[in-house]
Amino acid sequence: MENSENITLVKHYFDLFNKHQWKELAALYTDTADFKDPSLGTGIVKQTHEQTIGKYTELSNTFPDVHDEIVEIYPSGDKHVIVEFISTGTAPDNSKFELPICTIFTIENGKISADFTYYDNFEEPE
């Protein structure tokens, strides 16, 4: 049963992301969560709610129309949900991006305790 609750939580996460409701989104995480994200450097970085709000506020300031479209949700055990999604948006120079991303969420006691995100962060050659 916990798996369906975790999937509901992840769908709610993406709903809040697409509405750019960063404070509500950050509240879905434990007080300090583990992040793996190329935008934060290499390795695991601990982030507080405030840091998470700051990260996503900066993202939406750079890409005001940033939007994530879920491709597939893969439940894995009773604590993990893997989500494959496409992130799109428009940069300040009006160039558009479409980025396939995969995130592994670890959910414990109804909160996201880890968010390990993978995507190709290399620039395309011109």
pLDDT in tens, 108-125: 999 999 999 999 876 555
How many Cβ atoms sit within 10 Å of the Cβ of residue 74? 12
Q: Return the ∠ at Cα 32 (arms to 26 and 34), rounded to 5°.
A: 95
Query: For residue 42, what pLDDT is reported?
Result: 84
Cα dihedral 16, 17, 23, 27 sign: positive
Q: Which helix (H) or strand (E) holds 45?
A: strand 45-48
3-state SS, residue 118: strand
Query: For residue 38, what pLDDT is reported?
Result: 87
Query: For residue 1, what pLDDT is reported?
Result: 41
Query: For residue 2, what pLDDT is reported?
Result: 59
- State how far the Cα of 107 lies from the Cα of 61, in Å rounded to an integer: 28
With tokens 């491709």, the residue in question is: 71
Cα dihedral 22, 28, 32, 38 sign: negative
- State how far the Cα of 33 lies from the Cα of 114, in Å rounded to an integer: 5
3-state SS, residue 13: helix
What is the assigned CATH class of domain 2-118?
alpha beta
pLDDT of 50 above 80: yes
Q: Which of these, 113, 120, 105, lies nearest to 14 by C-alpha position? A: 105
